[in-house]
Amino acid sequence: MAIATINPATGETLKTFEPLNDAEIASKLDLADQAFEKYRHRSFAERAIALQTAADILEQEKADFAKLMTLEMGKPYKAAVAEVEKCAVVCRYYAENAADFLADVSVKTDASHSFVRYQPLGVILAVMPWNFPFWQVFRFAAPALMAGNVGLLKHASNVPQCALAIEDIIRRAGFPEGVFQTLLIGAAKVADLMADERVKAATLTGSEAAGASLAAAAGKQIKKTVLELGGSDPFIVLESADVAAAAATAMTARMLNNGQSCIAAKRFIVAEAIADQFEKLLLEKFTALKIGDPLHPETDLGPLATPDILQELDQQVQTAVKSGGKVLTGGYPLADRPGNFYPATIIIDIPIDAPIAQEEFFGPVALLFRVSNLDTAIKLANATPFGLGASAWTNNNQERDRLISEIEAGAVFINGLVKSDPRLPFGGIKRSGYGRELSIQGIHEFVNVKTVWVK
């Protein structure tokens, strides 16, 4: 894949970049390695000052960064502004809390003094996706840099200007040279990086294939990885739920980022008794969405990020229809304009055992299933290889408790939208990956948990 900015709303190539050659990659690795030797000794207070400055820059220049994201990957401008603001929040969160999260922990043993100390690992590689081009990077970088690690970013090839802008923010914030560098390289170079002894660990957000490939390369070198992969999150609405509130949130949960989010609600599992009402409300909301130029302030739904994503989604919809699904609205790419536009789509009546029902739809397509009871709802929610998030709607406490304990996912949200929050751990089980980002668990992923025992 070429490293280039291609406007997904028009198909126009705005800028192309030469990938780094091997000598350039080697010198950046050297720089990162040398930077770590000094940076690891900086105090939490010094690191926090720089991270707070990064938050200031993000807030002050959010309009420019948001426009860049929208131009490169098509998310609606208002969502892009919100993303930059959230990046500032995660920077401030770790600037304020990292020292406490990584303080020595005393443990009583037979020693005169024994404790746990958290120390940085060194150079960490972050392989990141295009869907949240700022957020995914900052949620890695904020804890990693506060812990004293050094970051190398291999961003998705379609968001090179976002990648360079982030490197620039971190440099301008006052972090020493080499503490965070962007590598403009293709995916084929990642395995070599994992084999380099200067790279100590890696995190990847993206597809299962990319995650498996990185983990295999890291496994050969016995290096730690954190993987945040796909999801096919269920959104369960039971008879006791506030159906109107559930339908309103369902639309938001599916359309987030033009439908291209790992934690978007993708499979809507609705109790038979309220299914007609829910379906009608959802249809109204989907058909009211304004699709068009993502830079326009009133646009709700922009283009998909690349022609490949559009084509794959279209294929999946066609397969769903061939499997017995019925399209209520949408169901085809918009051929009347340039760019990668796909309308808000609802598909009902897909047989629950059809293989397509298990797949992740990475775009604005909702699959609606009707169930007769809670047991079937939970069984269907879990009938996917993924296990990232789940949203469940009920006002019955027994149902709520069963949903919380029986849904196979890294997160369960009751009567609310699945979202990431710096204060709560984020990550999945099953084929959605492993490890956690954010919160105290996130900062503990890339540290040496050193046991100290003094006689």
Q: Which residues are identified as catalytic? A: 228, 262
**Residue with Cβ nearer ligand NDP (207 or 396):** 207
Among 187, 289, 327, 440, binds ligand NDP (CB under 6 A): 187
159 in Cβ contact with 68 (< 8 Å): no
| Of 58, 107, 110, the residue nearest 84 (C-alpha) | 58
**What's the DSSP call for residue 355?**
G
CA–CA gap between residue 179 and residue 39 (Å, rounded): 7
How many residues at the interface with ligand NDP, by CB under 6 A? 25
Q: How, if at all, do strands 4-6 and 13-16 pair?
A: antiparallel
Measure CA 94 to chain center. 18
Among 147, 162, 210, 253, binds ligand NDP (CB under 6 A): 210
Q: Which stretch binds ligand NDP (CB under 6 A): 82-90, 205-213, 335-343, 369-377?
A: 205-213
Among 10, 34, 119, 207, binds ligand NDP (CB under 6 A): 207
**What's the DSSP call for residue 226?**
E
**Residue with Cβ nearer ligand NDP (187 or 334):** 187
Instruction: State the DSSP H helix or E strand holding residue 172, giving kind and residue range, or none if neither.
Output: helix 160-172
- Show the binding pattern over residues 120-149: x = contacts ligand NDP (CB under 6 A), - = does not: -------xxxxx------------------
Among 205, 257, 316, 394, binds ligand NDP (CB under 6 A): 205
Q: Does 186 bind ligand NDP (CB under 6 A)?
A: yes
Q: Does 229 bind ligand NDP (CB under 6 A)?
A: yes
Give, as ranges, the residues between 359 and 388 that touch ligand NDP (CB under 6 A): 360, 362
For the bound state, the minimum distance from the C-beta of residue 82 to ligand NDP, rounded and expressed in Å, comes to: 17
Q: Does 206 bind ligand NDP (CB under 6 A)?
A: yes
For the bound state, the minimum distance from the C-beta of residue 50 to ligand NDP, rounded and expressed in Å, comes to: 25
First to last CA, the chain: 57
CA–CA gap between residue 395 and residue 401 (Å, rounded): 11
| Of 284, 285, 301, the residue nearest 293 (C-alpha) | 301
| Of 235, 210, 234, 215, the residue nearest 226 (C-alpha) | 215
CA–CA gap between residue 208 and residue 384 (Å, rounded): 14
For the bound state, the minimum distance from the C-beta of residue 394 to ligand NDP, rounded and expressed in Å, comes to: 27
Query: Which residues of this chain interact with ligand NDP, rule CB under 6 A?
Result: 1, 127-131, 154-157, 186-187, 190, 205-207, 210, 213-214, 228-230, 262, 360, 362
